[in-house]
Structure 1
Amino acid sequence: MTGGVFVEESGGGSPTVVFLHGQGASGVVWDGVVAGLPGYRCVAVDLPGHGRSGRLPAYSAEAYASAVAPALPAGPLTLVGHSLGGMVALALADPALGLDVDAVLVLAMKVTWTEEEARRRAERASRPPDHFPDRGLALRRFAKLAGLSAHSEGLASGVEPDGDGWRLSHDPATAAGPPVPPEELRALAGRVAAPLHLACGDRDAMVSPDDLALLGRPVTTLRGAGHNVHIEHPSVVAQLVRAAVPAPRPAS
């Protein structure tokens, strides 16, 4: 753990792929995708305020990126982000941050929010964390929130002791504040110098391909996929990663 940010590395090949999860999840949601990338060096991050990572005083794309960047290995890096993690990937790829980024893949990132969606988001963020009398109940709640099976490995990363019981380890404040306006997300995408790939499922109830296309780049529509495409169809996402990652650089 570097600077309070937990990362889990696997594989020792090249190139290096960094995985950034969505709201309320942790790095374990990428296990299926990582399994489909033998020979790659894979780095799954628990974003600040989630999983095994520490919390931040406030959360924004820039705050996430500033906290995560020091925990990453040297580049070149391919950044893969789902939903919230997609926004973090865009911020990490900003040349001003100084990371060596070869490619960016953004999955199912919500660009526009209705007033009702923003209201519900703020309401959830204002609630005190749920308290669970036993660990099993907390694990099942985390599995549901993250889109995982209740029997998935690594669920323990999403819960922590809470007095005489348990709670989810993610910080409700990660959803505080208004959503990032579409024009700011588009500007963030516009600063990415590396090849930027966007993908979204045609059965995603939260994000449509047209919504994601507001970032100003072509969108790959994934047939039969919902919001958690990396969990529902890990082999498809692994294929997208292989297509996006440039060939290893020759030794100089």
Structure 2
Amino acid sequence: MPISSHEIRFSLPHIEVAGKVWGEPGGLPVIALHGWLDNAATFDRIAPSLEGVYLVALDLPGHGLSGHMPATGYSLWQQAATVLQVAEDLGWERFALLGHSMGAIISGVLAGSLPDRIIAAAMIDGLMPFTSEADDAPRQMARFFNSTLQLGNKRKPVYDSVEKAVSARVLGGTTPISRDAAAALVERGLMPHDGGWTWRTDPQLMLPSPLRFTQRHASSFIENITAPTCLVLANQGVMHKHPEVLARIDAFKHLTVHRVDGGHHLHLEEPAPQVAAILKDFYTSLS
């Protein structure tokens, strides 16, 4: 029988964080992290199949039903620190991770920084962030400064129906996504506004990163992971267009890599049962 979910909220010192929970408290403790501009509903299709797992899927700050950070408050390490505060609130000294895209990158940062606290890490079509070298830092910072100045002039779109917001997500996303998958994410990502609907998402999340890891920085986090680590790569996902990224992934011999036909949101689309089966086997193997 599929596992049902319920809502959860965390009143952290600096922000309110929302999430969804599947499973029973006695199961393997797992914190699940969604991708950029998505939310906890990204795990709706796979979480009910993960028997023996107590899965807490977060709306990361700025996303879904969670609060927004103060000005210029978003970074991979800030988001990772919030995840750690959630674990503290849950009383979890050690826990496992499940991340998609940006959530997978955050998982890699946490698992590489605090290897003694991470039981295992499963990543879906994501592992390391976009990188740039030191000489690019001034240009990257300039992009960030200029974008912050323009942020106040931008207004969120307002849709007169949820269906139009779903269409906007399908047509305007950074990666292809099916309508059903978009609908699951949009439902949690909208709020009423001026007689219609607009995004709950913090506009600051659209700002470019002020700083990026170098390749060496990014690799060092993954190299420092000691917990069992499973990576599910989408054959038609974001990485298949970047052979140099795939080559870097292949160099990490301590990762177990599964390649699955599907797009970037494969865990929320047709390959979802296959992804769920891989993750179920992975988490079961830990016991």
Tell me the TM-score range normalised by the shorter chain: 0.7 to 0.9
1:78-97: CA deviation from partner (whole Å, max 9, x where unpaired): 2111111111112232444x
- Are 2:29 and 1:16 equivalent residues in the alignment? yes
Aligned partner (choices 210, 217, 221) of residue 252 of structure 2: 217
The alpha-carbon deviation at position 62 of structure 1 amounts to 0.9
> Which residue of the partner structure matches residue 182 of structure 1?
215
Aligned partner (choices 100, 112, 120) of residue 82 of structure 1: 100
Aligned partner (choices 230, 234, 245) of residue 267 of structure 2: 230
The alpha-carbon deviation at position 53 of structure 1 amounts to 1.0
One-letter code of the match for 1:33? I
> Which residue of the partner structure matches residue 179 of structure 2?
149
The alpha-carbon deviation at position 20 of structure 1 amounts to 0.9
> Which residue of the partner structure matches residue 239 of structure 1?
277
SS in 1 for 2:44: helix
One-letter code of the match for 1:214? R
One-letter code of the match for 1:6? A
Distance 1:150-1:228 versus aligned 2 partners, 3 A rule: closer
The alpha-carbon deviation at position 149 of structure 1 amounts to 3.3
Distance 1:148-1:56 versus aligned 2 partners, 3 A rule: farther
> Which residue of the partner structure matches residue 47 of structure 1?
60
Give the paired residue count: 243
Distance 1:105-1:243 versus aligned 2 partners, 3 A rule: same
SS in 1 for 2:122: strand
Q: Which has the larger radius of gyration?
A: 2
> Which residue of the partner structure matches residue 123 of structure 2?
106
> Which residue of the partner structure matches residue 38 of structure 2?
25
SS in 2 for 1:32: coil
The alpha-carbon deviation at position 223 of structure 1 amounts to 3.6
Moved over 4 A (4+): 110-115, 121-127, 142-146, 150-154, 246-249
Structure-1-length-normalised TM-score: 0.79
Aligned partner (choices 64, 81, 84) of residue 66 of structure 1: 81
The alpha-carbon deviation at position 196 of structure 1 amounts to 2.3
One-letter code of the match for 1:77? F
Aligned partner (choices 154, 158, 162) of residue 132 of structure 1: 158
1:9-33: CA deviation from partner (whole Å, max 9, x where unpaired): 1111521222211111111011111
Distance 1:207-1:124 versus aligned 2 partners, 3 A rule: farther
Deviates most, 100-109 or 67-76 = 67-76
One-letter code of the match for 2:64? G
SS in 1 for 2:46: helix
How many Å separate the matches in 2 of 1:236 and 1:47? 26
Q: What is the identity percentage for the equivalent residue pairs of Structure 1 and Structure 2? A: 22
Unaligned 5+ segments in structure 2 are: 1-8
Unaligned 5+ segments in structure 1 are: none
Structure-2-length-normalised TM-score: 0.71
One-letter code of the match for 2:252? R
